[in-house]
Amino acid sequence: MRFNVFCKENSIDQCDKIIKTLVEQGNIFTNDNPEYIISIGGDGTMLRAVRKYYDVIDHVYFIGINTGELGFYTDFLPNEADQIIHSVTCSPNYNHCPLLEYEMVYKNGSVVRNFALNEITILNSFRTQILEVTINDNPFEVFRGTGLLVSTPSGSTAYNKSLGGAVVDISIEAFQMTEVASINNRVYQTLGSPILLGKESILKLSSPNFNQATLTTDYMFDHLDDVESIKVWLSDKKIKLLTKCNHTFWHRVKRAFLGK
Ligand code: NAD
């Protein structure tokens, strides 16, 4: 296989060893159109690797080697190079994880597009954040509280899960909106439960005032002061993630949250 690696900063020694082992087994380590991107680190490293290779995402496969702690996206351990080769050559098994896409419309009319592998959040720790929630151009609710999180199926086990959102099988083409500390009383009301939106849905979150609110996209963040609205939908783009033979998404959920 033709491969390149994306390494966590403090895993350079382990990366060198893994590259050496794979090259000794006849694989080609290259910057020039690699087929496989091996992320060596934890889940944060995979999030960063996907961002780096987004432009060629339709043409590459990702492999996660876990030198971190939880390793939800990383099915292999540093000493399992043999299993990687076996998984690639014998019976490749890929999880196809859909991404989210979003578009931020600024007050001056400019538009910025981006994507997320896990989730985006709109959070305001200082003020009650008002968010007008529109689904496919139909007003749905007016949220008041700390904020909202929108996650992919593979991101459903991350921040979304900590907020009580559902864990979603990655084969379901849907995305989820989860509330963060909504205000619910006889004056202000929200649905109060996470919702799953289908592939064709477009969620629009707008606000009269995003003052001091932040947008996070996986591990990155931005200020929303000059933003008017954000549209989110499930992207056609997916990452192809090599898994161990016969390992399903639910094996990974079990391993990460219930132990072996
Ligand atoms: P990080 O890499 O330390 O990740 C934080 C934790 O989230 C780690 O334990 C990691 O293994 C786990 N994680 C990441 N993606 C996961 C996934 N898809 N399924 C299960 N667990 C997953 O920190 P970072 O580099 O800042 O990563 C950003 C991610 O951290 C965000 O995408 C968000 O999902 C997560 N996060 C979680 C919380 C929370 O649960 N309260 C708060 C902030 C951020």
Q: What is the pLDDT of residue 146?
A: 98
Confidence (pTM): 0.96
pLDDT in tens, 238-258: 999 998 877 889 989 998 999
Q: CA dist 222 to 216, 218, 258, Å?
A: 6, 11, 34
CB of residue 155 inside a 6 A radius of ligand 1: yes
Residue of the nearest CA to atom 16 in ligand 1? 158
pLDDT in tens, 108-134: 999 999 999 999 999 999 999 999 999
pLDDT in tens, 77-104: 988 887 888 778 777 788 999 999 999 9
Give the distance (Å) from ligand 1 centre to CA of residue 94: 22
Q: Which of 69, 97, 118 is the best mutation target for the ligand 1 pocket, counting ligand atoms within 8 Å of the beta carbon and taking the most?
A: 118
Q: Which of 10, 43, 52, 69 is the best mutation target for the ligand 1 pocket, counting ligand atoms within 8 Å of the beta carbon and taking the most?
A: 43
Q: Is residue 43 annotated as a catalytic residue, yes or no?
A: yes
Q: What is the pLDDT of residue 222?
A: 95
The three-state DSSP-derived secondary structure of 16-27 is HHHHHHHHHCCC
Q: Which of 16, 32, 43, 75 is catalytic?
A: 43
For range 162-182, the mean pLDDT: 97
CB 252 within 8 A of CB 154: no
CB of residue 159 inside a 6 A radius of ligand 1: yes
Q: pLDDT band for position 260 (50/70/90)?
A: low
Q: How far apart are CA 9 and CA 4, in angstroms?
A: 16
Q: How far apart are CA 130 and CA 144, in angstroms?
A: 5
pLDDT at residue 11 greater than cutoff 90:
no
